[in-house]
Amino acid sequence: MRRKNVLMISYFFPPRGGPGVQRTLYFAKYLSDFGYRPLVVHGGRRPAGGPQDTSLLEELNSQVLRFEFPAFEPACLTRPFSKWLNRRGRISQGLAWRLDRLTGYLEQCVSPDELVFWADRMTNPVIQLAKRYKARMIYSTADPFSNHYLAWRVKKALGLPWVADFRDLWTQDQRYNPKPRFRARRDSRYEQ
């Protein structure tokens, strides 16, 4: 039986660990039992730290193809400098605190999240990947919600059916408190 290729976009996927990878990991694992071959586009190891669990890779069979596209994460740039400043003394600790706050604020200004630059940069390579492997559909999961942004762009370019898996609420989440305020309107438009 000829397998149907499914382009799966999930920034968080093994070898990363944590609860956010489980759902897509097992979708990819079991889709192959039903005649599909998952083509998983993911961000790979997190350069700024975070949980890693390479044992999760053992869950995948040979039908699952993984394509790693690492992202530039702003914390990669500022975290080492902040740590260095914190070791320098009280005045430097204040600078480190301000640097961390500035990084956090800049991350809040971009929509749907700080990985939107990754999604922009990955659009053409992912379109080429989908064409090369003759993907029949797109599946994306969030968060990060930039996964959906990337999937939407690929769908627009190729006209493939798209399944958007909202694992978590976005703008209706009670913890959602965008700053600056203009981001709420933009996120709401993206979500629809």
CATH number at residue 41: 3.40.50.2000
Within a domain: residue 11? yes
Distance CA 130, CA 101 (A): 39
Residue 93 belongs to a domain: no
Alpha-carbon distance 93 to 87, whole Å?
8
The pLDDT value given to residue 157 = 95
- Tell me if 82 is assigned to some domain: no
Q: Would you say residue 45 lies in a domain?
A: yes
Q: What is the dihedral of CA 192, 112, 13, 16, to 10 degrees?
A: -150
Percent of all residues in the chain with a pLDDT value above 90, rounded to a whole number: 24
- Model pLDDT for residues 139-163, shown as the tens digit of each residue: 999 878 889 889 999 999 999 999 9
Of 57, 8, 14, the residue nearest 36 (C-alpha) = 8
- Stretch among 35-49, 55-69, 98-112, 150-164 having the lowest mean pLDDT: 98-112
pLDDT of residue 17: 74
- 173: in domain: yes
pLDDT of residue 143: 78
Burial of 62 (0-12, 13-18, 19+ CB in 10 A): exposed
Question: How far separated are the first and last CA of the chain, in Å rounded?
Answer: 37
In the predicted model, what is the mean pLDDT of the chain?
76
Residue at 35 is within a domain: yes
Q: What is the pLDDT of residues 97-148, one digit of tens each?
A: 566 666 665 656 565 677 777 788 888 999 999 999 999 999 999 878 889 8
Going by pLDDT thresholds of 50, 70 and 90, the confidence category of residue 72 is low
pLDDT at res. 137: 95
Mind listing the pLDDT tens digit for each residue in 162-192?
A: 998 876 655 556 665 666 566 566 666 666 6
Domain count for the chain, please give it: 1
Please check whether residue 30 lies inside any domain of the structure: yes
Strand ranges of the sheet holding 65-68, from the earlier edge strand across to the other edge: 65-68, 36-42, 4-9, 137-142, 162-166
Total count of residues recorded for the chain: 192
Contact in structure between 152 and 162 (CB atoms under 8 Å): yes
Full residue range of the structural domain in which residue 122 is found: 4-72+113-177
Query: Residue 71 is encoded by which pair of tokens?
Result: 């992202």
Tell which wins on pLDDT, 82 or 2: 2
Is it true that the peptide bond before 15 is cis, omega within 30 degrees of 0? yes
DSSP class of residue 52?
B
Inside any domain, residue 187: no
